[in-house]
Amino acid sequence: MDFMLHIWNELVTSNTFNFIVMFFLLLWILSKINILEILSNSVQKIKKNIENSEQEKKDSNANYINIKKSVEHLDDEIAEHLKQVEIKADDIKNEVISNANKRADDIKNNIKKVVDIEEKQASYRLIAKAVSDSSIAAKEKILNMLKERPEIHQKLIDDSIKKLGHLNNENW
């Protein structure tokens, strides 16, 4: 029983166990975040705002032409309507530019987050590969050492048998 507790304690305190726990925790967090949908929604909103502003600009230009035709003899009214249309177009232009800049900043920030996540995932994959490679190398080194020095292999077998005999005697 102590041997099992010792093995469990070694496993829990090992870097490999901690890495596996952190890896699955990171995967769970990433599965909860839907960055692609957020980016897609932002892009769609920007497209919609641009289309709406273009349509409003077209409508404003059409209204301007109709007013100009209907009141060509009234220079003062035309000048007033022209001023209103220009102000509205400038306001729309400024609003569209402001919204587009805000959305562009949001997209840049989201892209930076995605890149950071991808970098972390690549790093975790490299760490996992390094751990795997090092365990394979350690196994090969131990096997080579046992081949070169068979007395160590026999000593390990004898020690294990002694421990089993000692555990067997304590339990009975």
Query: Which string of b and e fits 26-40 if b means at least 16 CB within 10 Å?
Result: eeeeeeeeeeeeebe
Domain boundaries defined on the chain? 33-140
Question: How many Å apart are CA 163 and CA 157, to the nearest integer?
Answer: 10
Contact 107, 42 (CB under 8 A): yes
pLDDT at 36: 67
Altogether, the residues listed in the chain come to a count of 172
pLDDT at 172: 45
pLDDT at 159: 87
HSE-up of residue 139 (Cα within 13 Å, Cβ side): 6
Q: Left, alpha or beta for 33 (phi > 0: left; psi -120 to 50: alpha)?
A: beta
pLDDT at 72: 65
The mean pLDDT values, 10 residues at a time, for the chain of 172 residues are: 78 75 81 71 90 91 82 71 88 90 89 90 90 90 83 84 72 49
Question: How many Å apart are CA 58 and CA 61, to the nearest integer?
Answer: 5
**Amino acid at site 115:** V
**Amino acid at site 118:** E
Give tens-digit pLDDT for 125-134.
989 998 998 9
Q: What is the pTM of this model?
A: 0.33
Write out the two tokens for 98. 């402001």
**Amino acid at site 65:** I
Question: How many Å apart are CA 147 and CA 154, to the nearest integer?
Answer: 11
Query: How far lies 144's CA from each of 15, 46, 62, 153, in Å?
Result: 25, 64, 87, 11
